[in-house]
Structure 1
Amino acid sequence: MASNLLPPSVSSKTIQVNDLNIHYLQATPPFNPHAPLVLLLHGFPELAYSWRKIMGPLSKAGYNVVAPDQRGYGQTTMLNSAGPIEFNEDLAPFRMFNLVTDIVMLVSALGFQSVAAVVGHDFGSTVAGFAGLIRPDVFQSVVMMSAPFPGAPPFSNQGDNVPSLIGSSASTITKRLAELSPPRKHYTMYFSSPSANDDMLHSPQGLQAFLRDYFYSKSANWSGNSTPNPPHRLPSASPANVAILPPYYIMLLDHTMPMAVQNAANEGSRPLEEWLSEEDLGFYVSEFSRTGFQGGLNWYRCMTEAKWALNDMRIFTGKRITVPAMFLSGALDWGVYQSPGALEGLIERVCESMDEEDVVLVPNAGHWIQQERAEVVVEQLKRFLRKVFKAVYRFYQKTYPI
Structure 2
Amino acid sequence: MLSESTSWPNLPPRVKSRFLPVNGLRMHFLEAIPETPRADEPLGLIILLHGFPELAYSWRKVIGPLADAGYHVVAPDQRVCGRTTPAGISAQTKFDDSLLPFQMTNMVKDVVGLVHSLGYNSVVAVVGHDFGSPIAAYCALIRPDLFRSVVMMSAPFTGPPQIKPVPLPKDDLQLDPTMQMLSDALGKLDPPRTHYTHYYSTRQAGSDMLNPPNGLHAFMREYYHVKSASWEGNHDPKPHPTAVTGPADIVATMAALPHYYVMGEPTMPLAVNGCGPSGDDSWLTDEELAVYVQEYARTGFQGNLNWYRIKVLSGWEADCELFSGKRIEIPAMFIAGSYDWGTYQVTGAAEMMKEKVCAKMEDQDFVLIEGAGHWVQQEKSVQVVNELLRFLQKTRK
Q: TM-score range by the shorter chain?
A: over 0.9
CA separation in 2, counterparts of 1:35 and 1:52? 21
Pick from 207, 229, 250 the counterpart of residue 238 of structure 1. 250
Matched, 1:95 2:103: yes
Whole-angstrom distance in 2 between the partners of 1:295 and 1:377: 28
* 1:354 corresponds to 2:354: no
Q: How does 1:87-236 map to 2 (within 5 A)?
A: 87-157=95-165, 167-227=176-236, 229-236=237-244
| Structure 1 contact 331–363 (Cα < 8 Å) conserved | yes
Q: Given residue 286 of structure 1, which amino acid in structure 2 is its aligned partner?
A: Q
1:261 aligned partner, one-letter code: V
User: Structure 1, residues 68-90: CA drift from partner, whole Å, max 9, x if none?
Assistant: 00002000001263411110101
Matched, 1:17 2:22: yes
Q: How does 1:38-117 map to 2 (within 5 A)?
A: 38-79=46-87, 81-117=89-125
Sort the Cα spacing of 1:283 and 1:82 in 2 relative to 1 into closer, same or farther, 3 A. closer
CA positional deviation for 1:4 = 4.8
1:322 pairs with one of 298, 322, 329:
329
Contact 2:8 2:291 (C-alpha < 8 Å) held by counterparts: no
CA distance in 1, matches of 2:48, 2:280: 24
What SS does the aligned partner of 2:281 have?
helix
- What CA deviation, in whole Å up to 9, does each residue of 1:211-261 have, x standing for no partner? 00000000000000001x111111126111111111110001x42101111
Measured against aligned partners, the alpha-carbon deviations of 1:350-376 in whole angstroms (never above 9, x if no partner) come to 011211000000111000000000000
Q: Tell me how far 1:273 sits from its aligned partner.
A: 3.1
User: Aligned residue for 1:3?
Assistant: 7
Q: Name 1:261's counterpart in structure 2.
A: 272
Tell me the distance in 2 between the aligned counterparts of 1:168 and 1:181. Answer: 23
Corresponding residue for residue 396 of structure 1: none
Show CA shifts across 1:323-362 (max 9, x none): 0000000010000011111100000110112110000001
CA contact under 8 A between 1:148 and 1:343: conserved in structure 2? yes
**Which residue matches 2:313?**
305
Q: Are the equivalent residues in 1 in contact too, given 2:115–2:121 (CA < 8 A)?
A: yes
Aligned to 2:287: 279
- Give the residue type in structure 1 aligned to 2:55: L
2:392 aligned with 1:385: yes
Does the CA-based 8 Å contact 1:216-1:272 persist in structure 2?
A: no
- Contact map agreement 2:36 2:70 (CA 8 A) in 1: no
Cα drift, residue 264 of structure 1: 3.1
Which runs of structure 1 show a deviation greater than 2 angstroms over 4 or more consecutive aligned residues? 31-34, 165-168
Q: Aligned equivalents of 2:321 and 2:302: distance in 1?
A: 26
Percent identity, aligned pairs only, is: 50
> Is the deviation greater in 33-42 or in 66-75?
33-42
